[in-house]
Amino acid sequence: MTSNAWMQLILYFAVLGLLAKPLGWYMARVYLGQPCCGMERVFGWLERSIYRVANIDERHEMGWRQYAVAVLLFNAVGFFAVYALLRLQGMLPLNPQQFAACTPDLAFNTAASFATNTNWQSYAGETTLSYLSQMLGLTVQNFVSAASGMAVLVALIRGLTRRTTATIGNFWFDLVRSTLYILLPLSIVVALLLVSQGVIQNFRPYATVNVLQPTVASDGTKGETQTLALGPAASQIAIKQLGTNGGGFFNVNSAHPFENPTPISNFVELLSILLIAAALCYTFGVMVGDTRQGWALLAAMYVIIVPLTVFTAWQEQNGVPAYTALSVDQTAHVDQPGGNMEGKETRFGIVNSALWASATTAASNGSVNAMHDSFTPLGGLVPMWLIQLGEIVFGGVGSGLYGMLMFVIVAVFIAGLMVGRTPEYLGKKIEAYEMKMASLVILIPPLVVLVGTAIAVIGPGLDYAAGNEIKSNLNNPGAHGFSEVLYAFSSAGNNNGSAFAGLTTNEPFNNLALGLAMLAARYWLMIPTLAIAGSLARKKFTPPSAGTLPTHRPLFVAMVVGTILLVGALTFVPALALGPIVEHLQMIAAS
């Protein structure tokens, strides 16, 4: 790796760490109902109006079951609203290109995807969705799906801090304040920054322009014009990154110059992907009354993502052995970036492509500025494995941290067994019920991923007729083709949304299978998390003693990281061995 690459990596992670504390402190004030740096003067009237119009008593406390019902009903309404909007798209306004309604299976997949904060896309946005569908359907869900995850996290934090009570807060209060005081202001700032860099924001019909160099197709047809897709992109891109949603306005996502035109826009979008998730660690520390706890969780995330990001950049910078054998120069120098530049934008280069790939899969974001399918086998393994770890290394806003806390509970329980004491975390005893619920949260995503992949490769998802030749939905044979299927179900089964490409997913089986995987991975995890919150809230506070395991020190950080990696390794290494690992060995052998 070059010195320039190291400088870019250090700059990114340093800025992210520096911003975590001030934003985390602000978000803690939002959820504690304290003054929010004057933002209540701007949005307070709107907050009160929402409560009044919706007939909500924000002071009413909910038990965990009532909180869970509110989450599920609200998200169900969002799901059916998006489904209806996509099915009626052809008859609705703000559709200058006159796009037809989506098919039932695509509408189901898209509605499930955006309701669950996954934003998997089986379609090309600029050739499928109207401006109304993009704004009223997808962008709105980008806000409320992110806010739902943040609300569940806050409920879990209350469960840890409250004593002998049956309530964990009010979902509507958490949802509204997450949206108005955190997501909306940050989105406005980021959208304005992106517009200043050339990201488009308009309602004009698509433009047809003459190309500078006309082309001639194999059938003799001349290509003298090009259609430029336009639309309100910046407003959706801002919240797609901040809310770890990730759905692109255009098909190639943030590799498109209208979504991400400059290195500055790239840095702003890349920083937005992990910003809220990192800051929520400090929010957690403030709300539990010990900021060291939040720093410990953030440190665990850094310990995992930084080496994996470096490894990805190193793999891509090393290039492809077959090119070396052909005497192709893959070294980096003033005239070229070197390495494996296939599928990458020259305006971003290798390190920013690798950094984005790691960040977007460590978070449940899924946006891309390079094609993961074109990475080297081991370079592509890292993004896939980061997803498979459960989207808890930063993860989705809210959902990532409450997923990380499930691993913390498991680590505390294991530590308690090792020393022969009842496990405790932040003064609350971790008992059989909490372990059962935490186990569900940890084990459901791998189950969804592995079962879904197995069904897809041996069932109706692929056609293995004509010997070993893979036809129909899969465009690449062998280990790489298996990696594409595994990546797709890993992405859907962990609410990430990115894709390896090469797999045709816009057809009934994959749309249905991936849609069900997204729904299971989101809501089957929320319910056990809220159950733990309710159980912990009812417990008494146990003061720390000489035998209490300190959960803010490096030893505990190492235990949490070890638990995460051990579970990930034992669960997915056999599947990875059939895909990217064997592909890497084949690549070496072929060279």
Q: Count up the domains in the chain and report the number.
A: 1
Q: List pLDDT tens digits, range 133-157.
A: 999 999 999 999 999 999 999 999 9
Residue at 543 is within a domain: yes
Residue at 574 is within a domain: yes
- The DSSP secondary structure of 475-531, one letter per residue, reads -S-HHHHHHHHHHHHHHHHTT-----SSB---SHHHHHHHHHHHHHHHHHHHHHHHH
Structural domain range at position 560: 3-210+226-590
Considering only the C-alpha atoms of the chain, give the largest distance between any 2 of them, rounded to a whole number of Å. 83
Nearest Cα residue to 383 out of 239, 517, 521, 499 = 499
Nearest Cα residue to 486 out of 507, 457, 510 = 457
Q: How many CB atoms lie within 10 A of CB 25?
A: 16
Percent of the chain whose predicted confidence (pLDDT) is above 90: 73
Q: Report the first-to-last Cα separation within the chain, whole angstroms.
A: 22
Residue at 205 is within a domain: yes
- The DSSP secondary structure of 353-366, one letter per residue, reads HHHHHHHHHHTT--
Q: List pLDDT tens digits, range 252-265.
A: 999 999 999 999 99
Query: Residue 328: its pLDDT value, please?
Result: 80
Residue at 373 is within a domain: yes
DSSP H helical ranges for 197-262: 234-242
Q: Who contacts 475 (Cβ-Cβ below 8 Å, separation ≥6)?
A: 481, 502, 503, 504
Query: Residue 425: its pLDDT value, please?
Result: 92
Q: List pLDDT tens digits, range 218-230.
A: 777 888 888 999 9
Query: Residue 457: its pLDDT value, please?
Result: 85
Confidence of residue 591 (pLDDT cuts 50, 70, 90): low
Q: Who contacts 430 (Cβ-Cβ below 8 Å, separation ≥6)?
A: 409, 412, 413, 416, 422, 423, 424
**Cα–Cα distances in angstroms (integers) from residue 424 to residues 221, 287, 336, 541, 566, in the given order:** 72, 18, 55, 10, 22
Predicted TM-score (pTM) of the model is 0.93
> Which amino acid is located at 555 in the chain?
L
DSSP three-state, residue 232: strand
Asked if 323 and 330 touch (Cβ cutoff 8 Å), the reply is: yes
Query: Residue 486: its pLDDT value, please?
Result: 93
Confidence of residue 464 (pLDDT cuts 50, 70, 90): very low
Rounded CA gap, 73 and 52, in Å? Answer: 19
CA atoms 459, 464, 467, 468: torsion sign: negative
Query: Residue 471: its pLDDT value, please?
Result: 45
Least confident of 38-42, 320-324, 497-501, 519-523: 320-324
The DSSP 8-state label assigned to residue 206 in this structure reads P
Distance of CA 587 to the CA centre of its chain: 30
Over 50: is that where the pLDDT of 514 sits?
yes
Bridge partners (DSSP) of residue 579 are none
Identify the burial level of 145 via C-beta atoms within 10 angstroms of its C-beta, where 0-12 means exposed, 13-18 middle and 19 or more buried: buried
Q: How many CB atoms lie within 10 A of CB 91?
A: 9
Residue at 250 is within a domain: yes
Residue at 175 is within a domain: yes
Least confident of 41-45, 142-146, 154-158, 528-532: 41-45
Residue at 221 is within a domain: no
Rounded CA gap, 349 and 352, in Å? Answer: 6
Rounded CA gap, 273 and 277, in Å? Answer: 8
DSSP H helical ranges for 131-203: 131-132, 140-161, 171-177, 184-196
Residue at 335 is within a domain: yes
DSSP three-state, residue 290: coil
